[in-house]
A and B are shown apart, each in its own frame.
Chain A
Amino acid sequence: MQQARELPDMPAPGAGASGAPLLRAGGVTVQYKTPDHLVTATYRVSFDIYPAERFVILGPSGCGKSTLLKAIAGFIKPVEGEILLKGSPVSGPGPDRMMVFQEFDQLLPWKTVIQNVMFPMRENGIAHAEARARARDAVERVGLAGFVDVYPHMLSGGMKQRCAIARAMAMKPDVLLMDEPYGSLDALTRRNMQDELLQLWEDTRFTLVFVTHSIEEAVIVGSRIAVLSPHPGQVRAELNSPGFAHDARTGLAFQNLVNHISGMLFGGNHKIDGDAHG
């Protein structure tokens, strides 16, 4: 049922789509069990993610986007289809796909910021000195240099998420998975964090898979956006986002793209709210 309707040419971003895909989802159907039901979260979802792409999975609540991301992370096994990372199937969670969660309690409360960032590296056989150097660098990049020896409970929500991002990035994973990482933040902090993420990407050009239900966030953060239809999630479209600087976000091009996606999801015009969050 996948229509091959190509959209007017939008420039492919950065290093872009060349060579083999880094991550491939082929006909992925994911189901999960509730006490009473077997719920099909996504139905035959396919997409390719290339190196240095900022791939956003966008969809309304209940479209199975988080479940899909958990399948990529290896927490859930698809009942149909396959997920390939660098050509080999994903079999379980692992440090080659570090994940940043929405919840603030993903940091280990008994470790300081720097210890948190170092922990996955140390557990995966990276020597202390190198782990420390990489952790310091990552912590500095996310602007937590002054808080290295602070325990997580003393950090604000945004700082906790920055620390989680630093922890994931310092590991230098093949793909960085983010599950609505800014969903629990206030509007202002969220906007700053989106810009910071883009800046980090400019610096290191990692591959990102980002899940969100906010159309604006998808358009701002993503270079390529997979729009999922609701319940069960199926790929409705794959779009390119040219990347919008701050002042372009009130412009016509931005609005048009948002409206285009909004029409696809809700069949109507979408009003952009000030905090760039749907």
Chain B
Amino acid sequence: MVTPMVETAIKPGPLARPEREYDVVVPEALGDVEQALPLTERLWNSTAIRRLIILILLAALWEAYARWSNNPLLFPTFTDTVEAWWHGIISGVIPQRLAVTLRMLAAGYGIGLALAGVFVTLAVSTRLGTDLLSTLTAMFNPLPAIALLPLALLWLGLGPPAIIFVIVNSVLWAVALNTHAGCLAVSTTLRMAGQTFGLKGFRYVVKILMPAAFPAILSGLKIGWAFAWRTLIAAELVFGVSSGSGGLGWYIFENRNLLDTANVFAGLLTVMAVGLFVEGIIFRTIEARTVRRWGMQQG
């Protein structure tokens, strides 16, 4: 008979092992602990350099294909496009068209933001306002703003007001939805902290709620910008001239009619360049100075 007592006694314990201490090598004796990487590797680690290389490769591919197909009417070469672009800028046509487009964008974006502010203020202060905003965004957010253009033309006539109306629609709902969601997500602790400071009403919204919701507001602004830019160019393509001065979309359309394909490409390049500039430089800078500096957003 083996009793449980004996059984536990047989179970092996940890091995009894002697303690040891070692001498470590002094870091200096190891030579360079921190070695600089070779230049090529450091360059390859830079995102900007890698992207530049991709761009150069794409341009080379474009140039090669265009030369091989040899059909400037359908596919102008890279060098022709750059030349057309340069001429467009020097002659002042592209800057002037761009200015028209940007003015329209600023008006639409500005009105959109102001309206979004009104809707969000209503939504955070009353329950009915919340329901109003939810219902309206549910209705209009899935609707591509450009689909409203025929109606806008009917109501507001041929001209900038119709286009601005469409831009407002594309900005308003995205920004309002994000801002409202951001305000709702502000933590209870932060709200209570703000209240113990004696902040109420408008000051509370501006000094606590808005900054705390800023990451969401900023992403709303970005989405709003993207919608507005695409909608604007599309609207100008369909209809973009008033009293002889059209925007970028009109520039593209006009040159297509003239079968000046290099200029069409130049117009597209400008649209891309503006898009990249706003998303890559303006919004990036705002992000770096605000939400990333405050640790409210990583990366």
Residues of A that sit less than 8 Å from B by CB:
70, 73, 75, 92-95, 97-99, 101, 103, 105-110, 119-120, 123-124, 151-154
Q: Are B214 and A101 in contact (CB under 8 A)?
A: no
B45 at the interface (CB under 8 A from A): no
State whether A124 touches B189 (Cβ < 8 A).
no
Q: How far, in angstroms, from A106 to B198 measured CA to CA in the complex?
A: 15
Q: Name the one of B195, B294, B296 contacting A93, with C-beta atoms under 8 angstroms.
A: B195
Quick check: is B71 within 8 A (CB to CB) of the other chain? no
Establish whether residues A106 and B295, one from each chain, have CB atoms under 8 Å apart when the complex forms: no
Given that A110-B211, A110-B214 are known contacts, is A95 also in contact with B295, CB under 8 Å in the complex?
A: no
Q: Which 8 residue pairs across A and B have the least CB separation, nearest first?
A: A153-B295, A120-B197, A93-B195, A103-B189, A95-B198, A109-B294, A106-B193, A110-B294
Complexed CA–CA distance, A231 and B243 (Å): 76
Report A-chain residues with C-beta under 8 Å of the C-beta of B130. none
User: Can you list 28 A-B pairs, Cβ within 8 angstroms, ordered by A?
Assistant: A70-B192, A73-B196, A93-B192, A93-B195, A93-B196, A95-B198, A99-B193, A99-B196, A101-B189, A101-B192, A103-B189, A105-B187, A106-B189, A106-B190, A108-B190, A109-B212, A109-B295, A110-B211, A110-B212, A110-B296, A120-B198, A123-B199, A123-B207, A151-B293, A151-B295, A153-B294, A153-B295, A154-B295
A138 to B: closest C-beta gap in Å? 15
Residues of chain A lying within 8 A (CB to CB) of residue B192: 70, 73, 75, 93, 99, 101, 106
Which of chain B's residues have a CB closer than 8 A to the CB of A123?
197-199, 203, 207
- Min distance, Cβ A110 to any Cβ of chain B, angstroms: 5
Which one of A73, A95, A110, A151 has the greatest number of beta carbons of chain B within 10 Å?
A110
Question: How close is A119's CB to chain B, nearest CB, in angstroms?
Answer: 7
Compute how far the CA of A107 lies from the CA of B190 in the bound complex, rounded to whole angstroms.
Answer: 7
Instruction: Decide if A93 touches B198 in the complex (CB within 8 Å).
Output: yes
Contact A152:B211 (CB < 8 A) given known A101-B192, A105-B187, A119-B197: no
Contact of B187 among A93, A99, A103 (CB under 8 A): A103
Given contacts A105-B187, A109-B295, A120-B198, 20 further A-B contacts (CB under 8 A): A73-B196, A93-B192, A93-B195, A94-B198, A95-B198, A98-B196, A103-B189, A106-B190, A106-B193, A107-B193, A108-B193, A109-B212, A109-B294, A110-B296, A120-B197, A123-B199, A123-B203, A124-B198, A151-B295, A153-B296
Q: Given A99-B192, A106-B190, A123-B203, A151 and B294 touching (CB < 8 A)?
A: yes
Contact with A along B162-196 (1 / 0, CB 8 A): 00000000000000000000000001011011011
Nearest chain A residue, comparing its CB with the CB of B211: A110
Residues of chain A within 8 A of B198, CB atoms compared = 93-95, 120, 123-124
**Prevailing SS type, chain B contact patch:** helix
Closest to B298 in A: A153
From residue A88, how far is it (CB to closest CB) to chain B in Å? 16
List chain A residues, Cβ under 8 A from B212.
108-110
Contact with A along B200-236 (1 / 0, CB 8 A): 0001000110011010000000000000000000000
Whether the Cβ atoms of A109 and B296 lie closer than 8 Å is: yes
B121 within 8 A of A: no
A53 to B123, CA, bound (A): 44
What's the tally of chain B residues with a CB closer than 8 Å to chain A?
Answer: 21
B residues near A, CB below 8 A? 187, 189-190, 192-193, 195-199, 203, 207-208, 211-212, 214, 290, 293-296
Query: In the assembly, what is the distance between CA of A120 and CA of B296, in Å?
Result: 21
**B294–A124 CB distance below 8 A:** no
Which residues of chain A come closer than 8 Å to B296, judged between CB atoms? 109-110, 153
Nearest chain B residue, comparing its CB with the CB of A154: B295
Instruction: Specify which chain A residues have a CB less than 8 angstroms from the CB of B195 in the assembled complex.
Output: 75, 92-93
A108 touches B208 (CB 8 A): yes
Decide: A97 and B295 in contact? CB cutoff 8 A.
Answer: no
A123 to nearest B CB, angstroms? 5
Query: Please, which residues of chain A bring their CB within 8 A of the CB of B187?
Result: 103, 105
Contacting residues, chain B, for A107 (C-beta < 8 A): 193
> What are the residues of chain B within 8 A of A106 when measuring CB–CB?
189-190, 192-193
A124 to B197, alpha carbons, bound, how many Å? 8
With A and B bound together, what is the CA distance between A73 and B188 in angstroms? 14
Contact call B189/A94, Cβ cutoff below 8 A: no
Q: How far is the CB of A148 from chain B (nearest CB, A)?
A: 16
List residues of chain B with CB within 8 A of the CB of A95: 196-198
- Residue of A105, A109, A120 with most partner-chain B CB within 10 A: A109
Q: Given the complex, which residues of A lie within 8 Å of B199, measured CB to CB?
A: 123
Most chain A beta-carbon contacts within 10 A, residue among B190, B193, B211, B212: B193
**Chain A residues, CB < 8 A from B207:** 123
Residue of A nearest to B296 (CB): A109
**A122 nearest CB neighbor, chain B only:** B197
Q: Which residue of A lies closest to B198 (CB)?
A: A95
Determine how close the nearest CB of chain A comes to the CB of B292; give it in whole angstroms: 10
Chain B residue at minimum C-beta to C-beta distance from A102: B189
Residues of chain B within 8 A of A101, CB atoms compared: 189, 192-193
Contacts A120-B197, A123-B197, A123-B198 given; indicate if A108 touches B211 (C-beta within 8 A). Answer: yes
Complexed CA–CA distance, A211 and B212 (Å): 27
- Chain B residues near A152 (CB, 8 Å)? 295
**In the complex, which residues of chain B have a beta carbon less than 8 angstroms from the beta carbon of A97?**
196
Q: List, in ascending order, chain A residues with CB within 8 A of B295's CB.
A: 109, 151-154
Q: How far is the CB of A176 from chain B (nearest CB, A)?
A: 11
